[in-house]
Amino acid sequence: MSSIRLTDYEPIVGRQTLEELYLLAEGLRGRRIKMVNSTAVGGGVAEILNRLIPLLNDLGISTQWTVIKGGEDFFEVTKTIHNALHGEQISFPSRMKEIFLEVSRENLKYIDLDQDVMVIHDPQPIVYVEAREKTQAKWVWRCHIDISHPDEEVWDFLRGFVEKYDVALFSSPRFSKRLPIPQFLFFPSIDPLSDKNKELEPEFIEQLLERFAISQDKPMITQISRFDRLKDPVGVIKAYRMAKRYVDCQLVLAGGGASDDPEGEAVLNEVRTEADGDSDIHILLLPPTSSLEINALQRASTIILQKSIREGFGLTVSEGMWKKKPVIGSAVGGIPAQIIPNLTGVLVHSVEGTAYQIRYLLSHPEMSKKLGDYGHEYVKERFLITRNLKRYLLLFYVLSHPGERIIHF
């Protein structure tokens, strides 16, 4: 786990922000928190927990992290549940439910429940709440995924567990449900000190562009995402083509996830066919360890795109905004929570709209600069890990004062 200290963030967020965190943490010192999720490495949740947990401990709040253990069959079930919550119609036979319940109950035998707060991330360990009678702890379900249009059968099954929690946390108002328990808004966050977001030396960026044979003489439009139809890479190329009739530019499509994924391979082929040998289109297949490369590509870009058809939260938008880039994003998933139209970015609904906005922003650098500057401020206020940390501290107070709207000390 990272050895980062809270004071490392002072040059970025300022003394006042840290003072607020220390003040809030004072009354929580000694609390025992346990976070549970399904993986220690890989994926956005693990990435956030890797930083968040040391920072909570740094503030004197004793926070542990446990990962649910299961075999292949368990994770096949949880993958099915994940897809169903994203809206895929699936079959959910009783055997699947049994595997899901059995593995969780087995895990529960070995977990130390002597805590003040149990924070359960996503559906995989959701069943843990069955043990709530055995402990004084408050139970929190942190849902990181979009459950606005779930498969009803799967949601009905999970709802029985969700309703046993004290509170639920969602990444966007769009993802919330009518529930009998309080629900709070917890945006995901980016870490300004991570490889993906930290400042880079200009030489490093230049070398990287050279390595990928990307010209430094033309405006660069970039979309960072895996090669997945839901990210609409073909639509991105179409939009670039429409814009290029008016303003010369180049396109970078960079992401991973194709090598072991048959669908990813097919999408990559579609993208290559659509690119049709255009030397200004750079299709970069990056390994999962490419945080520094992604950071450099974003920093070298003139405009960042996130033209998804469906999206979870879409943190690449915040990553682009943090680097003071104008971001054009589709009005789907969590993207509208990050982009206030024409203030912190631009929202679009079509290939044509994307093309028009590329043309507009390339012709109006002063507007691009304004969007980039405001975007950076907005991320600083809402989507940095320090803000996430603050939300957790506030939550711990709220859990001790259920039903109160104003908690006065």
Chain contacts with other proteins (rule: CB under 8 A): 16-17, 19-20, 23-24, 27, 170, 173-174, 176-179, 182-185, 331, 336, 340-341, 343, 374, 377-378, 381-382, 390-391, 394-395, 397-398, 404-409
- Taking CB atoms within 8 Å and a gap of at least 24, the contacts of 13-19 are 13/380, 13/384, 13/386, 17/386, 18/386
Q: Which is nearer to other proteins, 75 or 155 (CB)?
A: 155
Kindly state the helix (H) or strand (E) to which residue 76 belongs, with its residue range: helix 72-85
Q: How far is the CB of 19 from other proteins (least distance, A)?
A: 7
Q: Which of 185, 143, 198 is nearest to 387 (CA)?
A: 185
Alpha carbons 220 and 301: distance in angstroms, whole number:
5
Q: How far is the CB of 287 from other proteins (least distance, A)?
A: 37
Q: Which is nearer to other proteins, 161 or 170 (CB)?
A: 170
Q: Which is nearer to other proteins, 1 or 185 (CB)?
A: 185
Alpha carbons 75 and 91: distance in angstroms, whole number:
16
Q: Which is nearer to other proteins, 165 or 240 (CB)?
A: 165
Q: How far is the CB of 353 from other proteins (least distance, A)?
A: 13
Q: How far is the CB of 390 from other proteins (least distance, A)?
A: 7
Kindly state the helix (H) or strand (E) to which residue 272 belongs, with its residue range: helix 262-275
Q: Compute CA distances 347 → 94, 228, 262, 263, whole Å.
A: 42, 20, 31, 28
Q: How far is the CB of 323 from other proteins (least distance, A)?
A: 17
> Which residues have C-beta within 8 Å of that of residue 392, sequence separation ≥ 6?
52, 56
Q: Which is nearer to other proteins, 103 or 371 (CB)?
A: 371
Q: How far is the CB of 340 from other proteins (least distance, A)?
A: 7
Tell me the three state secondary structure of residue 8.
Answer: helix
Q: Which is nearer to other proteins, 132 or 391 (CB)?
A: 391
Q: Compute CA distances 249 → 86, 217, 289, 302, 341, whole Å.
A: 35, 9, 28, 9, 24
Alpha carbons 120 and 126: distance in angstroms, whole number:
6
Q: Which of 233, 212, 361, 202 is nearest to 279 (CA)?
A: 212
Q: How far is the CB of 380 from other proteins (least distance, A)?
A: 8
Which token pair is 200? 């880079």
User: Quick check: 55 and 4 in contact, CB under 8 A?
Assistant: yes
Q: Which of 332, 363, 333, 325 is nearest to 349 (CA)?
A: 332
Q: Is the dihedral of CA 87, 90, 94, 95 positive or negative?
A: negative
Q: Which is nearer to other proteins, 92 or 184 (CB)?
A: 184
Alpha carbon dihedral 301, 315, 55, 288, in 10-degree steps, equals -70
Q: Which is nearer to other proteins, 110 or 409 (CB)?
A: 409
Q: How far is the CB of 97 from other proteins (least distance, A)?
A: 26
> Which residues have C-beta within 8 Å of that of residue 317, sequence separation ≥ 6?
304, 306, 327, 329, 335, 338, 339, 345
Q: Which is nearer to other proteins, 226 or 376 (CB)?
A: 376
Q: How far is the CB of 23 from other proteins (least distance, A)?
A: 6
Q: Which is nearer to other proteins, 168 or 205 (CB)?
A: 168
HSE on the CB side for 336, CA within 13 Å? Answer: 10
Q: How far is the CB of 374 from other proteins (least distance, A)?
A: 6
